[in-house]
Amino acid sequence: MQPIRLLFVCHGNICRSTMAEYVMKHLVEKAGMGDRFVIESAATSTEEIGNPVHRGTRKELARQGIPCGDHRARQLRRADANAWDYFIGMDSANIRNMKRMLGPEADGKIFKLLEFTGRGDDVADPWYTGDFRTTYRDVDEGCRALLAKLTDGK
């Protein structure tokens, strides 16, 4: 059985998408399903390429007891369209950019994280709000709902 490949995407790949990457990795490991998933993250912009996880994201993940690796921001590439099963964006602007960057090869693979909760709103960007706790709550809720959908609640 091939692992499910998830790529979380936001504007810079240092706050929201990295938070989602590490939250989802933590959830699947806790559920004993780590071998069933490949999980990473990427940016739609070039602004933060090579930069580490934002200190606010790192701090919030540590507060929640979630390990955070030595991730470095990278940009989404057209070649990713065929390499990943799901592209999970954090907001409407990410979704528009992902569709443009990935092209038709990614049709049916692009989703907004909070769609899985039934809400469908944007995950607020803590780069602007400074509120990493609210972002964490949204990311955690979205990742839990996504995991339930992908595993049929198992």
Which residue among the candidates 10, 15, 68, 143 is catalytic per the annotation? 10
Please classify residue 64 by burial: count the beta carbons closer than 10 Å to its beta carbon, then call 0-12 exposed, 13-18 middle and 19+ buried: middle
Please state, in angstroms and rounded to a whole number, the distance separating the CA atoms of residues 109 and 121.
Answer: 18
pLDDT at residue 154 tops 60: no
Return the axis-axis angle of helices 16-30 and 55-63, rounded to nearest 10°: 30
pLDDT of residue 120: 87
pTM, to two decimals: 0.96
pLDDT tier, 67 (very low <50, low <70, confident <90, very high otherwise) = very high
15, 16, 68, 143: the active-site residue: 16
Distance, in Å, from the CA atom of 42 to the CA atom of 92, rounded to the nearest integer, reads: 16
Q: Is the dihedral of CA 75, 77, 81, 84 positive or negative?
A: negative
- Whether residue 125 lies in the annotated active site: yes
Name 54's Cβ contacts closer than 8 Å, sequence gap at least 6. Answer: 14, 15, 18, 126, 127
Domains of the chain: 4-150 (3.40.50.2300)
pLDDT at 12 over 90: yes
Quick one: pLDDT at residue 66? 97
* pLDDT tens per residue across span 87-126: 999 999 999 999 999 999 999 999 999 999 999 899 999 9
Does the pLDDT of residue 148 top 80, yes or no? yes
Annotated catalytic residue within 91, 122, 125, 140? 125
Which pLDDT belongs to residue 153? 58
Phi-psi region of 108 (alpha: psi -120 to 50; beta: other; left: phi over 0): left
